[in-house]
Amino acid sequence: MEQTIHSIKRKNERRLKMKRSLIIITVIILVVGYFTGCGLNPVNSDKNAIEDILTSDTSWFTPDTHYGEESTSTSAMTAFDEVYLWYRTKNPDEPITREIHIDVIGDSAFATVTGYIPGILHIFASLSNDTVIIEKNFTDIWTRSAIFKKDTITSHHRGWRLYAISGVEITTDNNIIQIDSVRVTLPATGLDTLITDVTNLVKREDIIKVRPDDQANITIYTNQGDAFAFLHSHFWRWRFYADSITPGIYNRTWKTPHNLGHYRVGFDVLTNGTLTDDSIPYDANLWGLHYFVTAE
């Protein structure tokens, strides 16, 4: 009888030891898995934090300044007797898509965003004493790059902040028209800058700064001598005037905003046929830039 009891005890002890061993092994696996995951998660988490900045900070990363009905005066054009109004809207039947690529190297990250925005160009014009309404479908392709540094409080986007940013370039498939460069001068402050590549990265601290209500002289250089050129700011636009001597150059003066703050401006060129001929497809190129209005 005693031998039976001892035998049962030994079996129970072996079972307990096996359970303890299984528990220890499970804990080890979990701990190893946890630390292995920690070795991978920071990079993924950093990318997620940067992607959150790219998608949520619309003041820096959403090029929407030239969509929607805009306040503008009537413009006499060519093929139509007169164009009463034209504007672009996003196509409600097609989704906007974006591709985000992020490379994290230590405490720096390089990000590129490419977006595809289906839209509709609406033209209201007069032709042979009739009012005609023309719609042209298009897809804008826009690109922007940015550099982020990880050197701020970790509770805000894991410490990532915007360090440098490019302008935005918007084109269409197989577009012909191109902006070659944009020159901006402000006589009151002596600012004179020639932008030859809108995709160049600029440190945030070096972004153009202007004073309130200052007069800016702006020139757009393009590869088309009969284009239409416009400046966009918020939902307003101003038309440039073709240079009387040199084809492909468009000039105008423009007053900077009155209120201090961070702003965006778009320099937009369209082929002549885009606005004057219903048989010619939409063809445009836009350069978008950031600037600050400061009291300095």
Q: What percent of the chain has pLDDT over 90?
A: 53
Ranges 18-27, 127-136, 172-181: which has the least confidence: 18-27
Count of the separate structural domains present in the chain: 1
Residue 113 within any structural domain of the chain: yes
Residue 52 within any structural domain of the chain: no
Residue 264 within any structural domain of the chain: yes
Average of pLDDT values for 236-261?
A: 95
Residue 19 within any structural domain of the chain: no
Give 193's pLDDT tier (boundaries 50, 70, 90).
Answer: very high
Ranges of beta strands (E only) in the chain are 82-90, 97-105, 108-127, 130-150, 160-165, 168-171, 179-186, 191-195, 202-203, 209-210, 215-222, 228-233, 236-239, 241-242, 249-255, 261-270, 284-293
Residue 283 within any structural domain of the chain: yes
Residue 97 within any structural domain of the chain: yes
Contact 86, 126 (CB under 8 A): no
Residue 125 within any structural domain of the chain: yes
Residue 196 per-residue DSSP state: S
pLDDT value at position 64?
Answer: 52
**Mean pLDDT score of the chain, rounded to an integer?**
81
More confident residue, 249 or 5: 249
Please choose, from the candidates 84, 104, 105, 34, the residue with its C-alpha nearest in 3D space to the C-alpha of residue 275: 84
pTM (2 d.p.): 0.77
Residue 230 within any structural domain of the chain: yes
Q: Which residue has the tokens 């897809």?
A: 139
pLDDT value at position 217?
Answer: 97
pLDDT tens digit sequence for 110-137: 999 999 999 999 998 877 777 888 899 9
Range of the domain at 131: 57-293
pLDDT value at position 236?
Answer: 85
